């Protein structure tokens, strides 16, 4: 079986990337969930420790880092800093390690062998959006084929980094010449031949008509719920946005013929209202009283690290804008201009989220 591919971030804004390079390892923190050695626990216990949506996301990433990543797997570490705009590639050469007196990068480690790097300009916009995920540890499944195509033309990281890497003992099979860190860049990959990112949705519908929709990229969890059905309990205290949908009747009248007969046509048009919330239960309960038009609600939250307050403000504005641009739906609200001042962590990723939300609305028949 071929090696798996992972992305592991070197902290916020790649602050630990030099530490990773010099030490020939990757590391994560998440000590709020796991301050101890992961070898002394198991996946079930680790997940059971989580007491909030954020901790659930952290536990899931720790499971990947400690139990899923294997020796021989490939790891991409983004290095988007003031001095660099590239991605570092390494091969995992050691099992999980726990370092009690570790620096700020975290006590959970894996030894790696650095192979090379590729530039931000070498990848497609879809790939760049994938790398902008809010998660620290994840698999770039949607664009993995594109990244694997870049492995045959990696540029050296630096002479010093290569020398340090070669001095480390390797417990993995020797990489092929195509993956060696000294491989020269023979040609820039052809952007026109790259595969496009295809959204894959998993949809489960329960006996009450609630549809749970999960999307791996961008990582989203959605639930479409009929007006009269209560939400799933896992939506309590979760930041996200929602789209209320229904229909409205529009009347069009005209006179035709010599007798000027009045003809009236009733037009059924989709109707929507976009909002944000950190308390979906309270917000939808209020809308049941104040907005009789809606029939279904689509709830949206992050499938990885929870959205921040600015994230959901930005996403609300973007979903509203995308719906308005379709000219297919009546929006019972003005554009949420107050959210234009939001400072989200990854606008490009949230733009992709907005497009996915509207695609789901089309899929479920909300947009005709």
Say which residue, 130 or 79, is predicted with more confidence: 79
Residue 185 has pLDDT above 80, yes or no: no
Residue found by looking up tokens 């626990």 in the block: 41
Question: What does the buried/exposed string (b/e) look like for 139-151 if buried means 16 or more CB atoms within 10 Å of the residue's CB?
Answer: bbebbbebbebbb
- Looking at 104-108, 307-311, 361-365, which range is the least confident one? 361-365
Q: In what order do the strands lie in the sheet with 220-226?
A: 202-205, 211-215, 220-226, 294-302, 240-256, 261-277, 330-331
Taking only the tens place, the pLDDT of each residue in 197-251 is: 445 678 888 888 888 888 877 788 899 989 888 888 888 888 999 999 887 665 5
Would you say how long the chain is, in residues? 368
Per-residue pLDDT band for 24 (boundaries 50, 70, 90) equals very high
Paired with 336 in beta bridges are none
Averaged pLDDT for residues 66-84: 92
Per-residue pLDDT band for 194 (boundaries 50, 70, 90) equals very low
Residue 192 has pLDDT above 50, yes or no: no
Contact 134, 348 (CB under 8 A): no
Q: Identify the pLDDT of residue 258.
A: 64
Say which residue, 212 or 177, is predicted with more confidence: 212
DSSP string, 254-295: EEETTTTEEEEEEEEEEEEEEEEES-HHHHHHHHHHH-TTEE
Averaged pLDDT for residues 50-69: 88
């Amino acid at each position: 079986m071929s090696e798996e591919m992972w992305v592991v971030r070197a902290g916020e804004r790649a602050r630990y990337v030099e530490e990773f390079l010099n030490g020939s390892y990757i590391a994560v923190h998440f000590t709020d969930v796991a301050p101890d050695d992961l070898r002394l626990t198991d996946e079930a216990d680790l997940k059971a420790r989580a007491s909030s949506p954020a901790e659930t996301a952290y536990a899931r990433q720790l499971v990947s880092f400690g139990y899923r990543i294997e020796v021989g797997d490939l790891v991409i570490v983004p290095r988007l800093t003031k001095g660099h705009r590239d991605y570092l590639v390494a091969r995992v050469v050691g099992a999980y390690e726990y370092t009690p007196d570790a620096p700020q990068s975290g006590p959970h480690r894996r030894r790696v062998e650095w192979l090379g790097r590729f530039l931000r300009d070498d990848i497609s916009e879809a790939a760049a959006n994938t790398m902008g995920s809010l998660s620290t540890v994840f698999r770039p499944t949607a664009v993995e084929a594109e990244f694997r195509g870049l492995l045959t033309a990696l540029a050296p990281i630096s002479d010093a980094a290569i020398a340090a890497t070669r001095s480390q003992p390797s417990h993995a099979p020797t990489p092929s010449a195509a993956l060696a860190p000294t491989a020269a860049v023979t040609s820039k990959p052809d952007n026109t031949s790259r595969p496009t990112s295809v959204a894959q949705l998993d949809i489960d519908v329960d006996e009450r008509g609630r549809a749970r929709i999960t999307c791996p990229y961008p990582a989203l969890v959605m639930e479409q719920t009929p007006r009269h059905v209560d939400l799933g309990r896992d939506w309590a205290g979760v930041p996200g946005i929602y789209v209320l949908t229904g229909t409205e009747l529009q009347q069009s009248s005209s006179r035709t013929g010599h007798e000027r007969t009045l003809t009236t046509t009733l037009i059924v048009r989709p109707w929507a209202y976009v909002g944000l919330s950190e308390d979906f239960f309270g917000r939808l309960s209020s809308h049941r009283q104040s907005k009789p038009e809606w029939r279904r609600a689509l709830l949206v939250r992050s499938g990885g690290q929870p959205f921040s307050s600015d994230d959901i403000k930005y996403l609300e504005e973007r979903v509203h804008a995308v719906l308005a641009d379709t000219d297919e739906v009546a929006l019972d609200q003005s554009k949420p201009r107050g959210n234009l001042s939001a400072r989200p962590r990854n606008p490009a990723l949230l733009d992709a989220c907005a497009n996915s939300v509207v695609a789901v609305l089309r899929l479920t028949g909300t947009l005709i």
